[in-house]
């Protein structure tokens, strides 16, 4: 993933969280991606190395 792609994903993620939504469509693949907000509301780690994991399971989390 390029730095430009990371910046776009972070911007989309931040706006989605501000809007109170729990997921967004990845700008490149169109796949659904859970936000940090969704993970925190769920209350536990699913151990699937999620992109926005707030529990530290994915060391590459954005």
The Cβ of residue 53 has, within 10 Å, a number of other Cβ atoms equal to: 20
State the pLDDT confidence band at 4, using cuts at 50, 70 and 90: very high
12 close to 27: Cβ distance less than 8 angstroms: yes
**pTM for the complete prediction?**
0.86
Residue 36, pLDDT score: 94
Exposed e or buried b for every residue in 4-18, given b needs 16+ CB within 10 A?
eeeeebeebbeebbe
Domain ranges of the chain: 1-62
Exposed e or buried b for every residue in 27-43, given b needs 16+ CB within 10 A?
eeeeeebbbbbbbeeee
Given a cut of 90, whether residue 30 has pLDDT beyond it is yes
């Amino acid at each position: 993933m390029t730095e430009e792609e990371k910046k776009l994903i972070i911007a989309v993620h931040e706006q989605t969280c501000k809007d109170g939504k729990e997921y967004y469509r990845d700008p490149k693949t169109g796949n659904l991606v859970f936000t940090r907000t969704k993970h925190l509301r769920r209350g536990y780690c699913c151990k699937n190395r999620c992109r926005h994991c707030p529990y530290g399971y994915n060391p590459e989390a954005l």
